[in-house]
Structure formats: structure tokens, C-alpha cells
């Protein structure tokens, strides 16, 4: 039995603009998906999933030799989760050159599903790592990140960026520009996440920005402006020193950039009332900065909170279903047992 876990992520800067070749900086957070893989003597795949959303649920299906599971599932989100698991199994089989390998797989996750925190990427990354290791054929991190990306690409019909899977594999903060992905240095960042209980439709939101961009010059300029913010943010992160207390001014500036980034995303039409409400609550409670994370439309915000006050303030905010601390996950995918 092999157990691997991989973290979720927030976008510190750069979502949406990254689609048009601007750089983006996602950062891994200490909320993990944990996948257990046990090879079977037949070619079946059996998946047990619990806690894939904050509400929690349990799903089991048996059988399957590579086709997308055709089973009754309680919600579209669970169905999507099963698709990711199956794609991960296929990548693991290909990596280990074992096309008929069967597995018993258990998934646990404390990352809200489909809310901009990279839940599916974490499941895919941990799943491929656990399954290849269980077969005695571990792969290196670059290959793992690449295979996880391909699994997401397949499930999302070609609408995937490398950001989530690369960040979940490597941990820490990473820089994405097109297909070019690299880890970057970052200090410990005191993140607080606010979750409105919903999820935006990434495809629709990306299409909306594309339309806006082709219609209005301001939208084009906004995308470029987000790219500028990302580059400034990267320079700040590179100046950080290991002692957390010495980074106060830098965190203040990073927070300011997050505020700018949120404003620009709102101008592109991808925020929502619930996200704006949480962003303002976080700022008023003392956060250095706050922004939506991911595609937007609903889902999560991320705040930089040195005070410890923001989580409670968010939990009293109308439209906020859950709020939690999530420090930077310096470790990406790892073996748990």
C-alpha cells in the first residue's frame, strides 16, 4: 500500500492573464489530497472517495479497465472527481508500462472541490505518484507534473493550464509562463481562505474575458496590467529573507499588489458579490491584501493575514460558507507512509 499526498493552491497573482501568455504565480497551500493505492491481482480499479468536498460524501465503484467510470454518482462534482481519478490511473499505467495494472484507491481531501484551490490537480498528482510507486515504478517530479497536466488536459477537453498540477507537484510558489514552469523562492505567507460554497464555470469565465478582450481596448490593457503586477510581485518575493518578522514591509507591498490584482480581475468581470464581500471583510479585518483566486465567478478568495483576525471576520460574512488558515505548503507531493 502506498500513500501520497499533494497540496492545493491559490493564485497569488496572474489568473486569467496567464491564458494570454502573461506570467502567473500560484502558491501551494497546506490543504491536501491524500491518495492510497494498492495494486490488485486483476485489472479492475476500485475507488473509494470521502470528504472530497467540505460537505463530505462517499462514493465507491468497482471495475473499469481504463474507460471513464460509468457509475451512478451523487453529484456532477463527484462525477468529475471520478473522471480525474481514472485519468490519473491511465497515466500511471502508461508511466509504469503496465497497461493492465489494477488498483484499490482511496482518496481523502480537505480541499474544497472546484473552487479555485486546485483540488482536482492535487488528486491527480497524488494519485499518479501513489499508483506508480505502488507498482515499484516511481517517476521524477517533472514527469509527474507533466503526466498530471496531461490527465487534466484530457478530462477538461483541452482547457487546462500547467499551473495547478505543477504547483501541486513542486509545492511552494511557482512561476508559470506558457509551458515554462519553475519553482521560485517565497517566504512563509500567512494565507486565509474564504469560500462561498460555490464554484464558477471556468470555461465560461475564460470565454467571457476573451470576448471582452476582443471588444474593448481596456480589457486588453487590463490583461497587460495584471502581467505587470505579477512581475512586480515576483521581484518582491525574490527579496524576502528567511526570518518572517523581517518581511513585514514586503508583505504589506505584496498585499497591495493582491488588492490591485483583484480590482483588475473585477474589471474583467470575473468577480462576484460574494467574492467582493469576502475581500472587503478581509481587508477591513486587517489583511494586508485580498483577492479572488482561480477562475472567479464564485469559489474562494485568498487574503494575506498577519493579524489572525481575518478568519473569524470572514466566518461572520454573509456569503462566506467556510474560512480557514492555510500557510504556504513548502512541500509538494510527498509519500505519507
Concatenated DSSP letters for 244-271? GGGGHHHHHHHHHHHHHHHHHHHHTT--
Q: Which of 2, 5, 109, 161 binds ligand PMV (CB under 6 A)?
A: 161
Q: Which of 53, 91, 132, 202 binds ligand PMV (CB under 6 A)?
A: 202
116 binds ligand PMV (CB under 6 A): yes
Q: What contacts 24+ positions apart, CB below 8 Å, involve 323-326?
A: 323/192, 323/193, 323/194, 323/195, 324/31, 324/192, 324/193, 325/190, 325/191, 325/192, 325/193, 326/8, 326/10, 326/29, 326/30, 326/31, 326/191, 326/192, 326/193
Site string (179-198) toward ligand PMV, x via CB under 6 A = --------------------
User: Least Å distance between CB 131 and ligand PMV?
Assistant: 23
119 binds ligand PMV (CB under 6 A): no
Binding-site members are: 112-122
Measured from the CB atom, the residue of 163 and 272 that comes closer to ligand PMV is 163
Stretch that binds ligand PMV, among 132-140, 158-166, 213-221, 275-283 (CB under 6 A): 158-166
Distance between CA atoms of 19 and 21, rounded to whole angstroms?
A: 6
Q: Which of 94, 206, 244, 250 binds ligand PMV (CB under 6 A)?
A: 206
Stretch that binds ligand PMV, among 59-67, 82-90, 99-107, 161-169 (CB under 6 A): 161-169
Question: Alpha carbon of 67 to those of 42, 80, 107, 127: distances in Å?
Answer: 16, 14, 19, 17
- Residues numbered 295-334 forming contacts with ligand PMV, rule: CB under 6 A: 295
Indicate which residue of 110, 129, 146, 164 is catalytic: 164
Measured from the CB atom, the residue of 106 and 261 that comes closer to ligand PMV is 261
User: Least Å distance between CB 330 and ligand PMV?
Assistant: 20
Enumerate residues 6+ apart whose C-beta is below 8 A from 310.
192, 281, 282, 285, 286, 287, 303, 323
User: Least Å distance between CB 12 and ligand PMV?
Assistant: 12
Stretch that binds ligand PMV, among 50-58, 62-70, 137-145, 156-164 (CB under 6 A): 156-164
Enumerate residues 6+ apart whose C-beta is below 8 A from 8.
28, 29, 31, 32, 33, 111, 117, 118, 119, 121, 122, 168, 326
> Is 164 an active-site residue?
yes
For the beta sheet containing 322-325, the strands, ordered from the edge strand earlier in sequence to the opposite edge, are: 289-292, 300-304, 191-195, 322-325
294 binds ligand PMV (CB under 6 A): yes
Measured from the CB atom, the residue of 163 and 236 that comes closer to ligand PMV is 163
Q: In the complex, which residues of this chain contact ligand PMV (CB under 6 A)?
A: 15-16, 18-19, 116, 118, 161, 163-164, 202, 206, 294-295
Catalytic residue set? 164
Amino acid at each position: 500500500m502506498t500513500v501520497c499526498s499533494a497540496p492545493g493552491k491559490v493564485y497569488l497573482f496572474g489568473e486569467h492573464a496567464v491564458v494570454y501568455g502573461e506570467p502567473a504565480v500560484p502558491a501551494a497551500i497546506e490543504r491536501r489530497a491524500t491518495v492510497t493505492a494498492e495494486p490488485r491481482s486483476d485489472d479492475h480499479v476500485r475507488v473509494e472517495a470521502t470528504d472530497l468536498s467540505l460537505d463530505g460524501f462517499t462514493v465507491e465503484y468497482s471495475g473499469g479497465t481504463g474507460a471513464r467510470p460509468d457509475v451512478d454518482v451523487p453529484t456532477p462534482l463527484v462525477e468529475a472527481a471520478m473522471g480525474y481519478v481514472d485519468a490519473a490511473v491511465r497515466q500511471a499505467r502508461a508511466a509504469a508500462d503496465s497497461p493492465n495494472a489494477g488498483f484499490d484507491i482511496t482518496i481523502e481531501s480537505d480541499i474544497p472541490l472546484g473552487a479555485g484551490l486546485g483540488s482536482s490537480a492535487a488528486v491527480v498528482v497524488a494519485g499518479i505518484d501513489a499508483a506508480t510507486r505502488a507498482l515499484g515504478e516511481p517517476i521524477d517530479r517533472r514527469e509527474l507534473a507533466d503526466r498530471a497536466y496531461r490527465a487534466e488536459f484530457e478530462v477538461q477537453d483541452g482547457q487546462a493550464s500547467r499551473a495547478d498540477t505543477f504547483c501541486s507537484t513542486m509545492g511552494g510558489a511557482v512561476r508559470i509562463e506558457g509551458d515554462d514552469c519553475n519553482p521560485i523562492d517565497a517566504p512563509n505567507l500567512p494565507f486565509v481562505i474564504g469560500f462561498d460554497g460555490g464554484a464558477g464555470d471556468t470555461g465560461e469565465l475564460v470565454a467571457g474575458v476573451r470576448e471582452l478582450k476582443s471588444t474593448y481596448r481596456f480589457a486588453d490593457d487590463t490583461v497587460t496590467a495584471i502581467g505587470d503586477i505579477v512581475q512586480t510581485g515576483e521581484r518582491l518575493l525574490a527579496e524576502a529573507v528567511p526570518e518572517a518578522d523581517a518581511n513585514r514591509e514586503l508583505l504589506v507591498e505584496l498585499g497591495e499588489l493582491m488588492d490591485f490584482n483583484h480590482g483588475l480581475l473585477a474589471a474583467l468581470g470575473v468577480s462576484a458579490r460574494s467574492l467582493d464581500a469576502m475581500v472587503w471583510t478581509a481587508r477591513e479585518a486587517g489583511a494586508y491584501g485580498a483577492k479572488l483566486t482561480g477562475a472567479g465567478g464564485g469559489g474562494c478568495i485568498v487574503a494575506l493575514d498577519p493579524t489572525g483576525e481575518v478568519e473569524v471576520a470572514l466566518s461572520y460574512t454573509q456569503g462566506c460558507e467556510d474560512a480557514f488558515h492555510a500557510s504556504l505548503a513548502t512541500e509538494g507531493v510527498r509519500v505519507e507512509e
